[in-house]
Each structure stands twice: as C-alpha cells, then as structure tokens.
Amino acid sequence: MRSALLLLSLVFVSLSSSLLADGIVIDKIYHPYVQPLEQELEIRFLQQDNQSDIADNTRLYRLAYGRSLSDRFFMEAYLVGQGSSSESLDLQSIEIEIKWQLTEQGEYWADWGVLAELSKGIGNNIYEASIGLIAEKEFGHWSATTNFVIEQEWGSGIDDELESVFSLQARYRYSQTLEPGIEFYAGQNSIGVGPVLMGQAKLAGPKKLKWEAGVILGLDSKSPDTSVRLLFEYEF
C-alpha cells in the first residue's frame, strides 16, 4: 500500500509541472476523511473580480446534497449557478462527486484520499471529468491539506482541454469553533493566496453546522484581484 501511494504521489507531482488549469480555480479544499452514516447539505459561494477573459464580479453558487455510502466512500450531487455584472444568475451545470478515503487517519505519515467528479452543462453538450489526490498531515496544532486535481473538458463548441489545479490549506486548530488558516491556489490563469477562517458548531445529537470564509488575493496580472469564498455545511 505504501509503495502504491508513493507512486501515485510521484505521478501527480510530475504532471503538475506541465498541467495548469485556466478559468476559476479557487474553490473548496477537500479533506480525505469519510464519516459513516453521514449526510450533509452544502452551500458554497465565490465572487471574484478583474480577471482576464472572465466577466467582472463573476459569482459562482453551488448547492449540494451528500451522504456516505460506507466508511470509505462519500457521494455528493451539485447544482451549479453562475452570474456576473453583465449576466444574471443562471443554472450552469449539474455535478456528481465521489470521495474515497484511502487510508485510516494516522496510518501513514500523511492521510490520503481520492476525489472523482463528472459534470454536464445545462442546455449544451459540454462535459467535464476530473480526478484528484488529497493529502493531509498534522503537525501539533497545525494541519496541512493539499488537493491536486486533473480535469478533462470536452463537448460540442469547445476545445478539448486537459487541465489541473493545485491548492494548499494550512490551518491552526485553535478550537472547534475557530480555526484560522491560509490558502494557496494555482492554475494557468490564476494564482493566489489569502487568509481563511473556519469552524463548526455542534447541534443536537450528531448534527453539526460547519462554515468557512476566505479572501484570496491574486499574485499576478492574470489572476483576479480579489476572490471571496464562503461555505456553509449542515451535517446530520
């Protein structure tokens, strides 16, 4: 198992030197863990401004329902909407996502998972499939999480493209209700870094309300000046 994980890691790292995604790359950073019998409702929001080839004040909304299929697999279905200063909010695509927890927490030097997703545009024949590697490592009160995702887009009226996105989150586990951190994102036309706050509130029984809020600042002229992301997740 250790050899397989090392080989998979080397493949993803080697690909990252030549594959970088364009468009919107700032999004949720996934953790590799799956809780059995868990269900969740999730809302995500992203707004970014002043990026080349993308409308000003582009807003992206995601609404999802997910549930664990076992103690290793978690499936989630999304409705994705998009709007901007020049375009009203419209439903853009539907997505199905599966997360596979590869290792037990603490079993190896890092915890590993795989993320797979398939999406289809609404009102067109545009598709996108992706597969990603998730890794998380704890250092005392700190946790570092990386996502590296390869995406393939195809369909009528677009150029078939193979792309990738790399993201990194380092967070300090101050308390259950507050975890400050920093995030980094890299793609062909976007590279940014910025602070993030996250936490969770325990409700009755196993129910939880999780939240995340981040502000990502562009690091070059191709990137959006500012991207604001919000996430609310109700687990039950």
- What the chain holds in terms of domains, given with CATH numbers, is 2-235 (2.40.160.40)
- Measured distance CA(63)–CA(78) in Å, rounded: 6
The alpha helices in the chain, defined as continuous H runs, are: 2-16
Only one residue has tokens 């690091």, namely: 219
pLDDT, one tens digit per residue, over 149-182 is 999 999 987 888 888 999 999 999 999 899 999 9
Query: Nearest 5°: phi and psi at 171?
Result: -130, 150
> How many helices (H) and strands (E) are present in the chain, helices listed first?
1, 12
Q: Answer whether 0.75 is exceeded by the pTM.
A: yes
Buried b (16+ CB within 10 A) or exposed e, 98-123: bbbbbbeeeebebbbbebebebebee
The whole-chain average pLDDT of the chain stands at 89
- Convert the pLDDT of each residue in 88-143 to its tens digit: 889 999 999 999 999 999 999 999 999 999 999 998 999 999 999 999 999 999 99
Nearest residue to 223 (alpha-carbon basis) of 184, 182, 189? 189
User: Is 172 strand, coil or helix?
Assistant: strand
- Whole-number pLDDT of residue 3: 43
Contact 69, 106 (CB under 8 A): no
